[in-house]
């Protein structure tokens, strides 16, 4: 078990540029989540996938954000026309697919990608 990995760990970009982040979940996990964490705050939910299907998107996720998980394994999060307000840590987490609330599994987090928009 190599854990959840994210790439890159740090990204500095200029306002208006597009950026893409990658997340590789724990291999047997079919649930994958994206969160955003700003300085001094807890993580906030953005979106999540079960296998390749995107099941829910937060209202925090504007039209400039898009996430994919094309083969049900790794996922990408793209931000188009970045703004300074997009500067944050973007966290990915994965878990097993629960069948009932009684069997919900723990979400395991990656190290995050820290985005700085200049």
Partner 1 sequence: AQTVTQSQPEMSVQEAETVTLSCTYDTSESNYYLFWYKQPPSRQMILVIRQEAYKQQNATENRFSVNFQKAAKSFSLKISDSQLGDTAMYFCARMNRDDKIIFGKGTRLHILP
Q: How far is the CB of 23 from partner 1 (least distance, A)?
A: 12
Rule CB under 8 A: choose which of 1, 59, 84, 102 binds partner 1: 102
**Quick check: 48 binds partner 1 (CB under 8 A)?**
yes
69 touches 48 (CB < 8 A): no
Burial of 111 (0-12, 13-18, 19+ CB in 10 A): middle
- 18 is a site residue for partner 1 (CB under 8 A): no
**How many whole angstroms separate alpha carbon 89 and alpha carbon 106?**
21
Using the rule CB under 8 A, is 106 a contact of partner 1?
A: yes
Residue with tokens 């296998």: 51
Site residues (vs partner 1, CB under 8 A): 31, 33, 35, 40-45, 48, 56, 91, 98, 101-102, 104, 106-112
């Amino acid at each position: 078990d190599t854990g959840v990995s994210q790439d890159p760990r740090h990204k500095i970009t200029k306002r208006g540029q597009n950026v893409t982040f990658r997340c590789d979940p724990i291999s047997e996990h079919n649930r994958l989540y994206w969160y955003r964490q700003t300085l001094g705050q807890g993580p906030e939910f953005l979106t999540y996938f079960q296998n390749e299907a995107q099941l829910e998107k937060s209202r925090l996720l504007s039209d400039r954000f898009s996430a994919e998980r094309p083969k049900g394994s790794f996922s990408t999060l793209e931000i188009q026309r970045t703004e300074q307000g997009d500067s944050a840590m973007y966290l990915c987490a994965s878990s097993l697919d629960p069948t009932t609330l009684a069997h919900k599994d723990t979400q395991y987090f990656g190290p995050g990608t820290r985005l700085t928009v200049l």
